[in-house]
Amino acid sequence: MAWTRDNSKRLARRSTIKDVARESGVDVSTVSRSLNHKGYVNPETRMRILAAAERLNYMPNRLARGLVTGDSHTLGLIISDIRNPFFAEMARGVEDSANHAGFDLVLCNSDLHPEKQRRYIKSLASRGIDGIIVNWAASLQPPEEDVLMSYGIPIVLLNSPTGVRKLSTVSMDNLQGGFLAGSYLLKLGHRRLALLTGPEDQARVAERQKGFLRSIESSGDKPSALILHGDQSFLGGYRMAWKLISDHPEVSAVFTHNDVMAFGALKAFAEAGRRVPDEISVVGFDNVEISQMIQPALTTINQPKYEIGAAAVELLLMLKTTPNLAAPIHRVFGVSLVERQSAMRFTQSFPTQRLEPRP
């Protein structure tokens, strides 16, 4: 097709199905059947229509189609913070699985603010989205679960609190992860341990803490465990580690709620002159990709991040096609210890020097 001023004007706006029909010399219903692969269309006519659609750069209006079919072919994903490599790896699993199923993805960051999280859910639901995957930030009370159900769309919770009655969930065995970390450090001979973790009202924080303390309680020689709560971030781990160095220099091993907090703790220990793992051992949680690249490489609890994201989409689409399931589905992924170089057997005396914490 020769390029003309008229074509330039026409292509300056979004082409419509009427434009395709006019370009290919058929009626709109024939174009619709061809593009949607529904009903019989003469093969030669179909090829002419597809060629016209390509020339005009025609893109179906999903919003308009959704008003007719009730499907937007779009899923929502609400996570805490995409800057955390854990969520980046999990989100990739969600995106790849959604794309394979023919769905677009809208990503939202809640920053662990429950109100922001609720606002995003309500906004996405009001836009006719087909389903939402949400990394739930805090406890979920029965009335709030009823509100989520009232939106009338499939919702799958990640890292959900225990006791969810009506919504389906995908999570990892946080309790076992905390237990594995504590048991490993005890096996290495550490008896003065610390847990650097997040806010107590978050389900996964409580579960990992519970598992960690269970390992301490099951030890026969009564080791001690100190727990510090703060932000689940690099800076949070950094600040808590400095507080630990200043107030409790006798601690010889640290378990952090996630790998990003462990990276912050490693920075603080390096600045304080506490060698890892010679003078203090560190175990993280998540096994993000960068954990094997730092020095020393981080010993951590592995959870299948990509697979968790993909499973959430699979479950969401199952709920979409079978909305009247007799009971919600709860899928729990196992975890495992990945042993690297940031933790070693306790051999030296406890340091006694108290240091002033950094700002």
Write out pLDDT tens, residues 138-161.
Answer: 667 778 888 888 888 999 998 776
Give the pair of three-digit tokens for residue 105.
Answer: 């993805």
Q: How many CA atoms lie within 13 A of 84 on its CB side?
A: 28
Same domain (yes/no): 167, 309: yes
pLDDT at residue 115 is higher than 80? yes
Residue 288 CA to residue 264 CA, distance in Å, equals 14
Q: Name beta bridge partners: 283.
A: 255, 299
Q: What is the pLDDT of residue 163?
A: 62
Pairing of strands 336-338, 299-302: antiparallel
Q: What is the pLDDT of residue 340?
A: 97
**Strand order across the beta sheet in which 281-286 lies:** 224-229, 192-197, 253-256, 281-286, 299-302, 336-338
Residue 6 CA to residue 54 CA, distance in Å, equals 17
- pLDDT band per the 50, 70, 90 thresholds, residue 63: very low
| Domain assignment of residue 37, given as a range | 5-60
Same domain (yes/no): 41, 125: no
Q: What is the pLDDT of residue 62?
A: 55
Residue 256 forms part of a structural domain: yes
Residue 47 CA to residue 131 CA, distance in Å, equals 35
Q: What is the pLDDT of residue 241?
A: 98
Which of 35-39, 205-209, 299-303, 319-323 has the weakest average pLDDT?
Answer: 35-39
Q: How many CA atoms lie within 13 A of 18 on its CB side?
A: 2
Residue 356 forms part of a structural domain: no
Q: What is the pLDDT of residue 146?
A: 86
pLDDT at residue 116 is higher than 60? yes
CA 156 to chain CA mean position, Å:
12
Q: What is the pLDDT of residue 53?
A: 85
Give the pair of three-digit tokens for residue 149.
Answer: 């159900």
**Inter-residue contact 31 to 55 (CB < 8 Å):** no
Instruction: Tell me 178's DSSP state.
Output: H
Q: What is the pLDDT of residue 10?
A: 43
pTM for this model (two decimals): 0.79
Same domain (yes/no): 223, 276: yes
Top pLDDT among 122 and 35 is at: 122
Long-range contacts of 135-138 (CB under 8 A, 24+ apart): 135/78, 135/79, 135/80, 135/87, 135/110, 135/159, 136/160, 136/161, 136/203, 137/80, 137/110, 137/112, 137/113, 137/202, 138/114, 138/199, 138/201, 138/202, 138/203
Exposure string over 35-51, b if 16+ CB within 10 A, otherwise e? beeeeebeeebbebbbe
Residue 348 forms part of a structural domain: no
Give the pair of three-digit tokens for residue 127.
Answer: 């836009």
Residues 6+ apart with CB under 8 A from 108: 76, 77, 78, 79, 120, 124
Residue 333: in which H helix or E strand, if any?
A: strand 330-333
Q: How many degrees, rounded to 5, is the angle at CA 170 between CA 337 and CA 310? A: 85
| Number of independent structural domains in the chain | 3
Same domain (yes/no): 73, 161: yes
- pLDDT band per the 50, 70, 90 thresholds, residue 303: very high
C-alpha separations of 162 from 86, 208, 257, 281, 304 in Å: 21, 13, 18, 31, 20
pLDDT at residue 20 is higher than 90? no
Give the pair of three-digit tokens for residue 198.
Answer: 């997040």
Provide, rounded to the nearest whole percent, the portion of the chain with pLDDT above 70: 87
Mean pLDDT across the stretch 238-259? Answer: 96
Q: pLDDT tens digits for 175-226?
A: 999 999 999 999 999 999 999 999 888 888 999 999 999 999 998 888 999 9
Mean pLDDT across the stretch 36-60? Answer: 82
Residue 46: CATH number of its domain: 1.10.260.40
Same domain (yes/no): 188, 240: yes
Same domain (yes/no): 121, 25: no
Same domain (yes/no): 295, 315: no
